[in-house]
Structure formats: C-alpha cells, structure tokens
Amino acid sequence: MSNIRTQIAATLFQPAPGGYVYRESYRWPFGDAPHYLVNEDQKAALLAVIAPKRPVLWQVVLWSTLCLMVAAACVTVWFTTRHDSPTGLDILAIAVLTVAQVVIGLAMLFWSKRRRLRPLLAMLPPTDLRITLSHMRAAATNAMSRKQIVVTTVSSVFASIAALVSGGLYLASQRPMGLLLLAVSLIWASLAWYYFRKLSAQTP
C-alpha cells in the first residue's frame, strides 16, 4: 500500500547516476526551484523533515484549518454586510479572504520548513538536472495504489455531482452562489476524469 511518504519521495526525488535529483520543496510554484544531487542517507534525512510523521493527523488538521478559514471569511463578511443571503460581491469577498488566509498560512509553513531544511541543503551539491511540474504530477499519481486511485476518483465524482446539484438549486432560486458551485463542480469533474484515465491505464 502506497503512503504519503512514498508519494512525496516519488514527487521530489528522481533517480540519477550515483543517487537522486532532489527538487527543493516548500517553494512557490512560480519560478525555478533549486535542484541538488543527494545520496540515500541524505534523501532519508530530507524526508524526515518534509514528510509528516502522522499523515492522517496531518490531513485532519490541514482540512480542518481550511474549513475554519472559510468559516472565518464567511463570518467576517456577514458582520460587515449583515446580509441574510450572500450576494455576488459577498461571495467574491469570501473567496478573496479565504485565499488570503491560505497564502499567509502557506507562507508561515514554508518559512518554518525551509528554516529546518537550510542546514541540510547547505551540504548538498547543486545540479543542472531538473524535475518538471508535469513529472511531479505523474510521479505522485504513479506512486498511488490502485485502491487509492479508485477512492479518489469516486470521491471526486460524488463531490462534482453534489456541487452541480447545489449550484443548480441556487441558480433556480436566483442566487449568484450557484455560479461558484458550478465552477467547483467542473474542477472536481476534471480531477475525476484525470484519475479515471490513470486508473484505465493501470487496467491489465
């Protein structure tokens, strides 16, 4: 059974002569991240910092924090506008506030992790070899077990249907939030299609 540590290793480390190419983690997706050559021991030391020690608890905390951010944005907008039903501008304000909180939270997490990685990175030789974002996405999916892909595909389908139905109901009652839910439905549908294609590729 694949686990988060295996997926992280597959995403950030690519086999190379004499060891692995490591793409520095906790970098913003814009711009080129530094790459280094590492051996097996250095890879293990890096993973000890990067990979969460309790993956299930980490995911629970992560999603709970995101839910709290959305709730905080909703409460802030409601206290400001006092609208019983959110308008289009209210929804936009909620989205902006949520994204701002996520960016600040990620910045704090990245700073903390990079501070812990700095002594390890100082001993690593840089390399011109590169791990592309497309390779990282493919490697992360390939590291997933068939069961994980099935669960992710089914979950994405249900999430897409739920968002689609909710969006339709909101639009039927002339609430602009329905447009946002339809957009969310398309995102989940795209993810479901992506994982379904990966699942089909694994079928003997």
Q: What is the pLDDT of residues 35-64, one digit of tens each?
A: 999 999 999 999 999 988 887 788 788 888
Q: Given this model, what pLDDT does residue 54 score?
A: 82
Nearest to 24 by CA among 126, 98, 148: 126
Using an 8 Å Cβ cutoff, are 93 and 75 in contact? no
Other C-beta atoms lying within 10 Å of the C-beta of residue 13: 19
Question: What pLDDT sits at residue 116?
Answer: 92
- CA dihedral of 4, 133, 187, 157, whole degrees rounded to 10: -40
Question: Which of 29-38, 113-122, 126-135, 170-179 shows the lowest mean pLDDT across its residues?
Answer: 170-179
For the chain, give every domain's residue range: 1-131, 144-204
Distances (CA, A) of 114 to 101, 111, 117: 20, 5, 5
